[in-house]
Amino acid sequence: MGTAVKMKRQRSVHTQLDMFIAEPRGGYHGLFIELKKNRDAVYSKRDGSYLQNKHIKDQLATIEILQEKGYEAVFGCGFDECQNIVDNYMAISI
């Protein structure tokens, strides 16, 4: 039972995004990225809208809250897209 409790405490929380770069750029306080393996993990194949499952909805709500607070916050799908997001963010003038 003790191991089960410890494992539950270590679980990821949907609303905490995967990556944070604490470098202010162009009016943003920093960059948050929710890392996804590919676009199918976030977007519908039919119309490109966000998937309607609780996990994605919770993460999207967190992204929107962070954006309202002055952070750049996005989903990043795949290595190349995430690299472009970071490169473009770091290229913004301070």
Q: How far is CA 23 from the centre of its chain?
A: 16
- 10-19, 35-44, 60-69, 82-91, range with the lowest pLDDT: 10-19
Domains of the chain, by residue range, sit at: 18-91
pLDDT tens-digit map of 24-35: 999 999 999 999
Q: How many Cβ atoms from other residues are within 10 Å of residue 60's Cβ?
A: 16
The average pLDDT across 44-48 equals: 92
Q: What is the CATH number of domain 18-91?
A: 3.40.1350.10
Per-residue pLDDT, 3: 74
With bands split at pLDDT 50, 70 and 90, how would you rate the model's confidence at 40? very high
**Cα–Cα distance, 60 to 41 (Å, whole number):** 13
Query: In which band, very low, low, confident or very high, does the pLDDT at 15 lie, cut at 50, 70 and 90?
Result: confident
Amino acid letter, 59: Q
